[in-house]
Every structure is written in structure tokens, then in C-alpha cells.
Copies of this chain bind each other. A is one copy, B any other.
């Protein structure tokens, strides 16, 4: 077991000038919700979007703020959270490039129902939600794509609820690590590095537990050579164990 001296996370190399018009168009073309849209329509649609850069830790919007915009991650990772009490938060999801967040509603009195924070330096496109609704009205394909994305998220959210209701904490954490490594994992050394800053608090807020409990479980996994972990990073050394811990 080698002692690491520094974080294995890639340095944040996202800078403002990368959010160029060219990149933006390329991004929208690849975005799952615009799949099947013709090139000229894409060009038209592109004009509705604004790009903006966010520094790590910067809040994009707070829950209960008036909600007017739909956003798209171009670069970086965006964390969606909700606050319960004083220091009790719930981490709903972590988004990667191509994913959407914000609101689709065009009602005036509508508010965001989660807080969005840049987990890393990020570039985000935004569009006024009523404009996006117009686009959906004129292109049923787009509406159906967004519907498919939302349905998938609903299924995933219910899955989370199921796991929270029925699994003990350690299994919940295994499952979270498994899902994160599928979404954000990159080969690193002899394992898979979850490529993002990830604290014990983040994991606790995903699993509905305390940082201390997460720490204890992670320590045990480390002792058993199933993961390697340090300050704000995790690598999976034994993916098979993490994937099927049912019998454990």
C-alpha cells in the first residue's frame, strides 16, 4: 500500500476562453436532447443560448430563487443539492457535460427546487425556459428527447429511494461508488479513479448518512484493498467487489 503524496485528480484546465461559439455549437450538436435535429435548425437554436463560466464552488443558482432558465453543462461537473436543516444537505445528482438542469417551466411564479454548484471549473450554456419550450413546440423530437432524459432520471431517483429505504449504509456507499465510477471513472494506475473532487460529506449527503460513518466504511474498504482514497479523491481497485456486494 503506497502512501500517496498528492491528489491524483487532473488539474482543472478549463478556462474561460474555451467557452467559444464553436465549442458551444459542437456541444449542442452532440447533446442528447438535440439528437436528430437538422444542422440548420441547430444553428437557429444556438442563437438562443448564452455561455458562462463558473469557478469551482461557485453557486449557479439557489433553491427557491425565481426560476427562469434551462442550462446545459458544456464542461466541468455540476452538483445539484437541496438543503434540509442547518448542516444537513442532500446531494441529488452530479452532472457531466451534455446534461441539462434548471427549469423547463415557463410559469412566472416558479422557483428552482435545488441548488446548483460548480463542482469543478465549469462552462454552462443557458436559455430562457420559455424559449426552450417554443423550440420543443416546434420540434416534437426535442420534447421527446427531453422526456426520455427526465424519465430516466425519475427511474434513477426511485432507485435511490429504494436503496435508501432498504439497504444498510455500507451497501448504499458501495452502490454510490459503483455508479460514480461508471459515470466519472477513468483508468488510473491499477484502478479506476473517480475523476472529480469528492469529499466524505458529498458521499454522506448522497447516502443519507454522516461523514463519520462514511469515513469508517471507506477506511475498512481501504484496509481490504478494495479502494484507495485520500483527501477528496477515490479510486476503485477492485471493481468486481464494488459491483456485486449483494452477498457480502
Chain A residues at the B interface, C-beta cutoff of 8 Å = 82, 84-85, 88, 90, 92, 104-105, 113-114, 133, 136-141, 143-144, 146-148, 150-151, 153-155, 157-158, 160-162, 164-166, 208
Residues of chain B with a CB closer than 8 A to A147's CB: 104, 136, 143, 146-147, 150
Total identical chains: 2
State in angstroms the CA–CA spacing of A139 and B158 once bound together: 29
CB distance from A23 to the nearest CB of B (A): 28
State in angstroms the CA–CA spacing of A138 and B113 once bound together: 31
CB distance from A211 to the nearest CB of B (A): 14
Residues of chain B with a CB closer than 8 A to A161's CB: 90, 92, 157, 160-161, 164, 208
State in angstroms the CA–CA spacing of A146 and B137 once bound together: 13
- Contact between chains at B136 and A166 (CB < 8 Å): no
CB distance from A132 to the nearest CB of B (A): 11
Residues of chain B with a CB closer than 8 A to A114's CB: 158
